[in-house]
A = this chain, B = another copy of it.
Amino acid sequence: MPDDLIPPGLHPLLAARWSPTTFDPEFEVGAAQAELLVEAARWAPSAGNSQPWAFIVARRGDETHRRLVRHLARSSGRWAPSASVLVANLAHRFVEGTDWEFSEFAQYDLGQAVAHMTFQAQALGLSVRQFRAFDQSGIANEFSVPSHWEVTSMSAIGRVPADAGSPPRPAPGPPRDRRPVVELLWAENRLTTDG
């Protein structure tokens, strides 16, 4: 298997996943679908079931969306507002009023929860691009996020327009390069030497 090919056995939702920067600016995600996205994240596993996550969920056209868009960076401001949904992904970093970590897995578990949200979005025919090009403290202030929480990332979720090409390739955007498998496996532990 060449290292730049997605293997045939990969689940279709994983194999077809990519991170577009072009979204259909007319397509709307309904409230029930947006709720399902949150449910997907909500049922993700976490260390000791600590659930160190929260979300600011905005649908294009609502007031929350307008307030989030104000804090996008110039780069993300060019494409993210056209997605149907914008989500700010928050991690519970500290125990309130202290500098003690709430969980050593706060970011790890938030990443998992966002991955679960992404699978659910894919299952609904939507695509997701996560990004960091926004004003973290701007959003925290705008939404009164207390300092023991962190606005870690954002997700743009929507439908890729038909004329944007069919994912995952040929696709607009950067190529889906990945390090070869052999680099991901610790040198002494290559599957092929055991298998």
Contact = CB atoms under 8 A, between A and B. Distances in A.
Contacts of A153: 105, 108
A22 interface: no
Contact of A47 (B38, B108, B132, B178): B132
A195 interface: yes
B34 A191 contact: yes
A193 to B, nearest CB: 9
**Residue in A64, A111, A132, A176 whose Cβ sees the most chain B Cβ within 10 Å:** A111
B10 A45 contact: no
List of 8 A-B pairs having minimum Cβ-Cβ separation, nearest first: A31-B195, A111-B111, A115-B115, A108-B111, A111-B112, A112-B115, A11-B123, A107-B108
A96 to B, nearest CB: 14
Which of A116, A119, A186 is the most central at the interface, judged by chain B CB atoms within 10 Å of its CB?
A186
Given A120-B11, A181-B38, A189-B143, A195 B152 contact: no
Interface in A41-75: 41-45, 47, 49, 51, 53-59, 62-64
B31 A19 contact: no
Nearest to A178: B42
B42 A179 contact: yes
Interface string A1-13: 0000011011101
Contact of A59 (B45, B55, B174, B194): B194
Contact of A194 (B9, B31, B105): B31
A177 interface: yes
A51 B104 CA distance: 20
